[in-house]
Structures are given as structure tokens and as C-alpha cells.
Structure 1
Amino acid sequence: MGLWARRTRACSKRRPGSSKCDSQFFHAGLVAATFLILLGLSLLYLPDPLALEPATAAPEVTLLIWTHPFGRKRPLPDCLVRYGVDGCVLTDDPRAYASADGVLVHHRDVVGGNAELPPEVGRPSGQKWIWLNYESPSHTPSLWRLEGRFNLTMSYRTDSDIFLPYGYLVLKHGSGQLLSEPSRTSRPGFVAWVVSNWVDSQARVAFYYQLSQYIQVDVFGRAGRSIPEGSGSVVQLVKHYHFYLALENSQHRDYITEKLWNAVLAGAVPVVLGPSRKNYERFLPPEAFIHVDDFPSVKALARYLAELRRDPARLQGHLRWRTGYGLRQPTFWGEHYCTACRVLRKNLGHTQVVHNLTGWFES
């Protein structure tokens, strides 16, 4: 949890914008970092989730999708055609359980009562159960129920057995949506925030209340104005703004969601509330975002945003990095299935059990 979010808890019941509360947001320091890109790396200081393995004689494997996430059934992709992943057969037919090499189980569906865990009786020797979850620890209940049941983990966390984030940068010559240095003249808007799940106890809501005391923030989504017709998506809307509030619903290690990547794709400078600046810098160059912990107070942050808006040359300092990169945003959930299947094939013959799922994921 970031410095701002920790101090927000103590201020959550006070009037937003009060001097007593505002003064508690101490300067976390802008981390000075030398940003090195080694030729051939796809991610910034991260393992490459989609690096294809060299061709091997490994046998074809079958991955059973035990639960379609959140109960929404979708067609299963051809992994070779869509993602270049060979030797993988996907199925959601439970009758394949007795012969499947792996079983992918979505956490929320099991603990929420929409599905039961696969049966231990009749489980083939060597079959691997894969725990799938893309919610933060704050929204991942009942982990204790699953201790010692799984063999592999799959999530946004970089230390997962199967790592696939919400988004990541690739070098310009790689596969991804190319980024460019956007024009600022076509952006009449100042700061936007799209939010659908408004909870007053969340740090991001307290942050918004305070920021809006000093500058105009246009709020869209179920908790604000409707996204204008013709915008087509959040990205199209944000293209009309200089800054976007990429505020996570909770602050945890590596929990950096599509909120950040929507801003990046739209060419807006993201103002982030989530894990630490150091954590974000594993995914982005340090100048690519503005962290709320960079400032001694919300008022100071608001002043900085206003200054940037009036000074296009300084604002471009947060955007020039874009010309060297593309953006990859994995498609939910087909790409996740194929990535899991690729790692499953690589791990045939290896036996392991996740003994401390709770301790790991909540760390």
C-alpha cells in the first residue's frame, strides 16, 4: 500500500480538503532511476509472458477450463492460430477431466459458489490444477479454503508461475499497438476519471474528493456522467484529456490494471494511485506517469498538473518516451488460457504443490 493510501485511511472521516488532513500527505520522493533497455527484452525489468519456447518434442497437452470466469462462457481459441502457441488443446467439457493434463480454475467462481472444485476422486496422476485470479488481495476472499490444492498459480503478479499482466510495453519493432508522441492541441479537457464502482471507504474516492477541491475533474461512468455517444470506448474519451486518473480500487504489489493502460493508449498522462512508484517503474519509464506519492500534498499535485497544462514543453517531458514503444494488452480470457497451456506443456513431468497460497498472494 502506498504512502498516500496509508495516510488517507486516517483522514477518511474528515472533511476532504481540510488543511489538517491535507498536511499529512508527506513527500514520498521522486525516485531517480537510470532507465536501461536491453535489446530484445519485451518488458521493462519483467519476465516476458509471451516469449515462445524453442520447438521441442514435448507431447501435445489438454487444458480443461473448469470454470469460465464469472460464469460468462466464451468460445475457446485455437492457440496456434491466434497466439502462436503450439501443442495445446483447450476444452471446457468436464468429461475430459479424467484425461486432461491440466485444469484451470477461476478463484471467484469456486469461492463464490458458482462451481465446485474438481473432484479428487479420479484425478489423473500428474494432472496440474492451475489457480487463476486477476482480482487484488482485497477482493480475493477465502484463500484458506484452497491451501494445498493447486500446483500452479496464474495472475498479474510477476512472481506467479504463469505471469500475464493487464498490459505491458514492447519495443517499437515488437508486436503491439504502436505508441506515438500525441498532439496536445486536440485535447480541450484537463483531468478525467472513469469509475464504475464508487465506494466511499476506498482511498481513490478520498483522493478524488481532495483533488477536486483544487482543480476540475470530469467524472464518467456509472458513478459520474455517461460516456458521450460516439466515444466508442474509454480510450476514445480519454483522448480528449491531458491527464487521466488511473486509480486502483486497492493498493497491492503488481496490481496495475487496464486503468493505467487505457491512459497510455489514449496518449494522456496517467496520474496513478496503486502500488509504489518503484513497482510502477517495472512496467513503465519513470517519466511516463505521475504518482500521487511524488508530492507532499494533494494541493501540490493539483498545482503541478495545472502548471503542466500551461506549459506544453514541460508536459511533453512526460510523453516523449512513447516513440520507442508499443503496447500489448492481453485479451481476456482466451490469451490467458493459451499462455497457461504453454506453461503447462513446458512443466510436464514436474510435480509441485502451492502450500501457502494465502501467504504468497497477500504478501
Structure 2
Amino acid sequence: MPCDVPCHLTKERQFLWNGTADLVLFSFNQGSEVDTLVAQGAKKSHQHFALSSMEPSTLFPDLSRPEYLKKFDLKATYHLDSDVPRIYLGHDRLNPETFLDFHWMTPPRAKRKDRLVSLVVSNCGKKDKNGRLRYMKELGKHVFIHSFGQCLNNAKASDYMDEPMPDSHERMRKRNRSLQDVLRNCREKMELIRTFKFHLALENSDTPDYVTEKFGIALAAGTVPIVKSRKNNYHLFAPHPHSYVVAEDFASPKVQTGLH
């Protein structure tokens, strides 16, 4: 990783105990381990313990509790005011094959009249805390939604990939991956939705700065993202105020269907 400061990343815990590590990263659910390490005297005076999380506090309440956050010297989260902001709309330079590979400069495709709204969501848990699943179902009563994920599934992804990216199927063959597995990658999702006019980029949490790859995929594909709430601060990530549609700006999903 290009860096002016020599940096060595490791999972070997010996560097924590022998004091070699300057920074120790912890996931959002490792607060109790921090307490244990501090009690055992593992943390040295020069070391910093950092929280690394891209999960929303509405789903993991500890992330909004001051007493929990005090366990850490630094925070690396999706919040833009974090010590180290970790935003989803980037590119993983360490591993370009990850789902954060956007290809922002890919030319947009012409939209098809029979492809209005797309949806790729597979987290259909019963805890619909922000009501996005209810919104999907209600909107689906008034306009046909092509749903390729497990939620409200009614379309087969392979039937809609008109011009597969050259290496998509080759990667499937080499890694013995199903098409549904491949759709976890940003490039294949972009390929799937780029002939649709709108894409439902609905987050599972209405939290400031929580803007995930759902939003980025739609923009990179040249498709207008439909988001649920303005609470997420999409205006700080969008290229233009009119480059996305906010569902809550409309009185109801039925009223919103007049946008096309």
C-alpha cells in the first residue's frame, strides 16, 4: 500500500503483547476484549486502540453509547467526522476484486422502456427497523420492480445481463461461483442494473453519513438511485442535488410512481 510512513499490517497478536504494534484495530463487537486486554496490562503507553466499524449504530446500539466508545482512542467508521473516515464509495486498493470496485468512468448505457426499477436486496430480516421492506412492497403495488435479490425476488439476473463484462463468466468458471455469488461484486451489479432507469438503493438504517455501495453502484451504472431518507446525508456524496430521488420527499409510494 503506497504510504509515506512505513506500515506493516498483521494479525499476529504477539506484536500487541510485546509492544511492537503502535495501533491495534478492534471490530465493533470487541469491546469486552478491550477491557480484558487493558486489565491484563497488554496495552502499552504508546499504543492506540482503535474501533473499526462500518455498521450503523441503529442496528448495533453500542456504537452510539459514549461509555462504550471511550474504550477506544481512535474511531474509524463511516461517519465523516471520525478520526479516520471509512466510506463505502471508494476503491479497495489492497484487493481490487472486492465488492468496492466501482469503475466510475464506465460509459452509461441506453435505458430500456421495459426496465424501469431494479432492486438487489437479500437481507429480508423480520426486523425492518426503518421500514424499507414495507416501502418496497408498497411501491411494488403501483409499479413493477425487477427484484434480483432474495427480497421480493421475481427476476433472474442471467436473463438481464445483455452484455456481460469480459471477465465476469470467466471468474465464475475459475472460482466455481454461482451468478448470485458474483452479484455481490460491484461490477456485476452495475452490469445488471445499467439498462434500468431507477435503482432502489435503500439502506437498512436511516443514519447520518451511512451511505453504502448500493448508492455508489447506481451512480456508477448511470442509473438514478432511489434512497429512503435524507437523514443519511446523501447530498455530501452525490455529484449533483438532482442525481438521486428521496422516497420520503413524496407523500406516498403511489404518488412517487408519477416520477417517470
TM-score range, shorter chain: 0.7 to 0.9
CA distance in 1, matches of 2:61, 2:148: 29
Match of 1:228 in 2: 157
State the Cα distance separating 1:181 from its structure 2 match. 6.2
The structure-2 alpha-carbon separation of the partners of 1:182 and 1:235, relative to structure 1 and needing over 3 Å to count, comes to: closer
For 1:129, what is the secondary structure of its paired residue? strand
State the Cα distance separating 1:219 from its structure 2 match. 1.3
Match of 1:133 in 2: 53
Q: Check whether the contact 1:191–1:242 (CA below 8 A) recurs between aligned residues.
A: yes
> Which of 33, 56, 69 is residue 116 of structure 1 equivalent to?
33
TM-score by length of 1: 0.53
The structure-2 alpha-carbon separation of the partners of 1:225 and 1:85, relative to structure 1 and needing over 3 Å to count, comes to: farther
| Structure 2 residue runs without a partner (length 5+) | 92-101, 169-187
More relative contact order, 1 or 2 (CA 8 Å, 6+ apart) = 1
The structure-2 alpha-carbon separation of the partners of 1:207 and 1:185, relative to structure 1 and needing over 3 Å to count, comes to: closer
| Structure 1 residue runs without a partner (length 5+) | 1-78, 170-175, 306-363
* Aligned amino acid, residue 240 of structure 1: T
* Aligned amino acid, residue 132 of structure 1: S
The structure-2 alpha-carbon separation of the partners of 1:151 and 1:272, relative to structure 1 and needing over 3 Å to count, comes to: same
> Which of 220, 224, 241 is residue 286 of structure 1 equivalent to?
241
Bigger Rg over Cα: 1
State the Cα distance separating 1:147 from its structure 2 match. 4.2
* Aligned amino acid, residue 122 of structure 2: S
State the Cα distance separating 1:225 from its structure 2 match. 4.3
The structure-2 alpha-carbon separation of the partners of 1:249 and 1:242, relative to structure 1 and needing over 3 Å to count, comes to: same
Match of 1:33 in 2: none
Q: Check whether the contact 2:111–2:194 (CA below 8 A) recurs between aligned residues.
A: no
State the Cα distance separating 1:243 from its structure 2 match. 0.6
For 1:138, what is the secondary structure of its paired residue? coil
The structure-2 alpha-carbon separation of the partners of 1:264 and 1:193, relative to structure 1 and needing over 3 Å to count, comes to: same
TM-score by length of 2: 0.73
CA distance in 1, matches of 2:4, 2:189: 31
Match of 2:9 in 1: 90
Match of 2:80 in 1: 158
Match of 2:27 in 1: 106
The structure-2 alpha-carbon separation of the partners of 1:100 and 1:161, relative to structure 1 and needing over 3 Å to count, comes to: same
* Aligned amino acid, residue 235 of structure 2: E
Paired residue total: 213
- The answer to whether structure 1 residue 198 and structure 2 residue 124 are counterparts is yes
State the Cα distance separating 1:99 from its structure 2 match. 1.7
State the Cα distance separating 1:188 from its structure 2 match. 4.1
CA distance in 2, matches of 1:147, 1:195: 31
Report percent identity of matched pairs. Answer: 27
* Aligned amino acid, residue 127 of structure 1: Q
> Which of 207, 211, 219 is residue 256 of structure 1 equivalent to?
211
The structure-2 alpha-carbon separation of the partners of 1:275 and 1:214, relative to structure 1 and needing over 3 Å to count, comes to: same
Q: Which has the higher strand share?
A: 1
* Aligned amino acid, residue 211 of structure 2: I
CA distance in 2, matches of 1:150, 1:215: 47
Per-residue CA deviations over 1:135-156 (Å, capped at 9, x if unaligned) read: 1112214345734221000011
Q: Check whether the contact 1:244–1:270 (CA below 8 A) recurs between aligned residues.
A: yes
* Aligned amino acid, residue 208 of structure 2: R
> Which of 139, 145, 151 is residue 217 of structure 1 equivalent to?
145
Per-residue CA deviations over 1:278-317 (Å, capped at 9, x if unaligned) read: x211111101101112223222211113xxxxxxxxxxxx
CA RMSD, aligned part only?
2.6
CA distance in 2, matches of 1:266, 1:156: 23
CA distance in 2, matches of 1:193, 1:253: 23
Q: Check whether the contact 2:111–2:196 (CA below 8 A) recurs between aligned residues.
A: no
Match of 1:245 in 2: 200
CA distance in 1, matches of 2:11, 2:113: 46
CA distance in 2, matches of 1:293, 1:215: 17
* Aligned amino acid, residue 219 of structure 1: S
